[in-house]
Structures are given as C-alpha cells and as structure tokens.
Amino acid sequence: MTHRPPRTRLRATAALALLPLLTLTACGSGDTGAAAVGAQGSPAPTDDPVAAVREVDSVAALLPEDVRESGTLKIGSSIGFPPGAYYPNGTDKAPAGQDIDLADAVAKVLGLKLERQDASFETILPALGSGKYDVGTGNFGVTSERLKTIDFVTYINDGQGFAVKDDNSALTKKVTDLTQLCGLTIGTGAGTTFEATLTAQKDVCAKAGKKPYDVKVYSENAATLTALQQGRIDVIMSTINGLRYQAAQPASHTRFLGEYHRLDVGFAFKKGSPLTKAFRAAVDHLIEDGTYRRILAKWGTTASAIDASRINPPEHT
C-alpha cells in the first residue's frame, strides 16, 4: 500500500514574510503556486482582449434552457498566483489572470454572467459533484483518475515540471526520471496531480536501491516557495508554465528543471454535465476569432496554446 505523505499546513504568515523579498514584474509565462509569494502585488497587464467579445447566438443555443433563462453560472476558482489567477491589487479587488480572462471570455460568448467564488484548489472538484459550483477553474490537469468523476473541456496544454534554488549544484539537469530525486525533499500542492504522481511512484527509489525521496504537501501556494528559500525542501514540483514564470523573475532565485509530463488543462464539471458542449464550442470560437491567442499572449503562455478544445481527452502518456 502506497504511503500518503503528511500534509504540511503553513498559513499566510509564511507568505507574508517573503513579500518584501520578492517584488515581481507584471507578466511572464505560466502560473505556479510558488510564484505567488511576491507576485501578489504585481500589476496586471493593461490590455483587455476580453472587452471586445460578444455573445454568439449559435453557441449560446447549446446551453440548457434553464441556464439560458437564469443567465448565470456559479464558478469555483482557485485564485492565488499569477498569471493563472491572482489578486494584483489585494483580495478586496477583482482577480486577474489567464484563467480569469478565459472564463470571462467564454461566459461572454455564451451570454452568461459568472458568479465567481474563491475556493482552495483541493476543494473545487469534490464541490462540483454536490452542485456547489457549475464549473471550476484552477489549472486542473486532465488525468485518467479525475476522468472517472469529472468532465473536462480543455483550453490549454500545460503539465508537470520541477524547479530548484538557483544556487543548487546537486540538481542541474532536466528531471526525466524520479530516481533523480531520491534522497531529496520535494514540495508540492495539496490535491494536485503532482502529489498523486509523487505518491504513486514513491517506491521507485527503493527499487533502484536508493534512499527514498520525501514529499511535503502544502495547502497554500506561496508556502512552497517559502519552504524552498528556507531550505526545508530541495525541489518544487508544479506546473510547467508556472515554474518557467517563476524562474524568469530574478527575485525568486529559482531555476526551472524542464518538463516532466505534459497534461491537458480544462474547465472542470461534474460528470455528465450538460454544459460541456457549449463550453467547448465557446473555446473553439475564441480560438477561431483570435481572442484566445491574444489572451495567452497577454499572460505569456502562447507556447501552451491548443488548436481546438476537447471534451474528456485521454491523459497524455
């Protein structure tokens, strides 16, 4: 039986302690919890590609009648780090980011208003089944396990990667095999594909005759970078785009170790949701009219663009 690593719960004080250390610039490529620490106060890019988006009747017609009549959808959003979704002006102001723009653009195509609620990453998918939210966003990767209970409409291709402190001389090469991490302590987010991957493969080091790696799981995104900077973990596992974003900020003092596993990322729905066809058509419309590319260019994530949205694609192997 695979051992599940203990969860380390570090609260906001750890993140606040690093705020003076990291004052990041506005825009980079990708999103990661670890980038959250200094980027909370980073100004968002000023261009607004969503402003010109209008309702498309043929796409809106794909919505269930009761949704069209109500004109609203409840969306659970994991908000915490740029450029995916964060608060550039404080939590009492509107969030910004790639996921925010894409969700807002899709809603405009469908003629809907989103009732956005902040939620921690690990709570959103379970809450979809209970009906608390109609749709969820949070850089949710499409995995075989999640497809058992969740429907996805894809909007970007991201995935898993690793990063270390820029002065780390032990890890200098791209991580292509988890045995490269044997004997090290890895920090990652609670309820993520990263946690699942590390837990499922925890015996690889023993099989290779090496000391196992240790996993520390954090419920707050900024706490991961805090732990890295303080030497309590050796390496971070997070999103490809996000770790690239983080490494591009000199004040973060991190180095990206490359892609490990690609994943499609999508809007999340309860299994059997009647909303998926309309959302896919809306994403495809945004791709076709160029709005999609402009949103990704705004947030520096064009390298992860997709050519067409898909409903429940198989996990990348």
Calculate the CA dihedral of residues 271, 85, 193, 233 and round it to 10 degrees. -160
Tell me: pLDDT of 306 over 80: yes
Tell me: pLDDT of 203 over 80: yes
Mean pLDDT of all residues in 238-259: 87
Tell me: pLDDT of 247 over 50: yes
Strands 150-165 and 254-270: antiparallel
Tell me: pLDDT of 111 over 80: yes
Confidence at 298, pLDDT banded by 50, 70, 90: very high
d(CA 101, CA 85): 9
Confidence at 1, pLDDT banded by 50, 70, 90: very low
Confidence at 246, pLDDT banded by 50, 70, 90: confident
Residue 315 has a pLDDT of: 92
**For residue 35, what are the contacts with CB-CB under 8 A and spacing of at least 6?**
24, 28, 81, 82, 225, 242, 245, 246, 249, 252
Tell me: pLDDT of 5 over 50: no
Residue 42 has a pLDDT of: 58
Nearest to 28 by CA among 79, 69, 86, 73: 86
Q: Length of the chain, please?
A: 317
pLDDT in tens, 17-72: 333 223 222 222 233 343 334 444 457 788 999 999 999 999 999 999 999 999 99
Q: Report the first-to-last Cα separation within the chain, whole angstroms.
A: 24
Residue 41 has a pLDDT of: 44
Mean pLDDT of the chain: 86
Confidence at 244, pLDDT banded by 50, 70, 90: confident
d(CA 88, CA 187): 25
The helix (run of H) or strand (run of E) holding residue 9 is none
Mean pLDDT of all residues in 236-249: 86
Mean pLDDT of all residues in 271-296: 98
